[in-house]
Amino acid sequence: MNSEVLNTLYIQTQGVYLRLEGDTLRIEHEDVTLRNVPLHHLGGLALFGNVLVSPYLLHRCAQDGLEVAWFSESGRFQGRLAGPVAGNVLLRQAQYRALDNPSSSLYLAQRFVEGKLKNARLVLQRAVRERGETEALALALYEHEAALRQLPQARSLDEVRGLEGNAASAYFAAFGDLLLSGEFRFDGRNKRPPRDPVNALLSFVYALLTTQCTAALEGVGLDPQAGFLHALRPGRHALALDLMEEFRAWWADRLTLSLLNRKQLTLEHFETRPGGAVLLNEEGRKVVIVAFQTRRLETVQHPLFKEPVPVGLLPHIQARLLARYLRGDLPQYLPFVGR
């Protein structure tokens, strides 16, 4: 599956060969030409897994300042082509300036939280539609509405974090009501270590999603550690965690719920250690990874694009929109909101 998003060509088909043919990029697979793309249409290449690129195409990309980034098949960032024109310095400079500027930091934090709240609301609304309202669901929906109303008036990062925190605790208080299978219970979020199967699963899926968001930011040349909503700490991918807020409920939590409600995971996929720490076992991790990869390949409608885009590309799209906003090319950053 290959697609162009914001002029970045994403190649996810394994065994594809890319080469330069005049001023055109030729995509070949087993000696068959799949497609020709004029180079001047492209802003960058994102290559997942076993994708071969001819040296001459790489030379040309370096010369023209076309961004080339490599990812593993599962989406982990591997490296980026560094040509003589290092445009990233301007992007990173803009990122750090925004970080030093309280109003742009606040603006971005608000947008990430807005995305989180709207997507969480979708998950709650769907549950109410499908299964009727419970007290906890009604309260969580109310908290999300309230937080969304107050968010634009927030004056500081702490206020934004407070609104997010309130909504999140109401959300997790209702999350147990979304589980159909009697086998699993959920009495609130805990981690380090998770202490029940649902929390173990959430932690694992969030970890998968974090790598996707980190990779996407690396891919466009943003510093994944320099976040706006999350506090800065060495080794912590604060911006990846910021970006992830948009996807937690819509992608990770929904995947978690469908794995449990469709009984693709049972208690046998978990291991409980003495004292109460709970982990997915190897078989369980396999089930989750396969489901996660399948979801990456499904397509959805992004509010800003006509064509449906694969779920796996959403973090890349959002990272690029963020980069465009930071460079002043876009007047706003629009978080992804599903439907």
Pairing of β 16-21 and β 51-53: parallel
Task: List the one residue from 52, 86, 90, 231 that touches another protein (CB under 8 A).
Answer: 231
Subset of 162-221 contacting another protein (CB under 8 A): 192-193, 207-208, 210-211, 214
273 binds another protein (CB under 8 A): yes
Would you say 101 or 294 has its CB closer to another protein?
294
286 binds another protein (CB under 8 A): yes
Would you say 73 or 135 has its CB closer to another protein?
73
Return d(Cα 207, Cα 193) in angstroms, integer.
Answer: 13
100 binds another protein (CB under 8 A): no
Task: List the one residue from 76, 92, 161, 295 that touches another protein (CB under 8 A).
Answer: 76
Are 57 and 20 spatial neighbours (Cβ–Cβ below 8 Å)? yes
Return d(Cα 220, Cα 7) in angstroms, integer.
Answer: 12
52 binds another protein (CB under 8 A): no
Task: List the one residue from 84, 234, 328, 331 that touches another protein (CB under 8 A).
Answer: 234
158 binds another protein (CB under 8 A): no
Task: List the one residue from 2, 3, 74, 166 that touches another protein (CB under 8 A).
Answer: 74
Total chain residues near another protein (CB under 8 A): 29
Q: Compute the least distance from the CB of residue 235 to another protein, in Å.
A: 4
Would you say 124 or 229 has its CB closer to another protein?
229
Task: List the one residue from 22, 152, 182, 235 that touches another protein (CB under 8 A).
Answer: 235
Are 34 and 16 spatial neighbours (Cβ–Cβ below 8 Å)? yes
Q: Compute the least distance from the CB of residue 195 to another protein, in Å.
A: 9
Residues in the chain: 339
Would you say 20 or 215 has its CB closer to another protein?
215
Subset of 289-328 contacting another protein (CB under 8 A): 289-290, 293
> Which residues of this chain interact with another protein, rule CB under 8 A?
72-74, 76, 192-193, 207-208, 210-211, 214, 231, 233-237, 273-277, 279, 282, 285-286, 289-290, 293
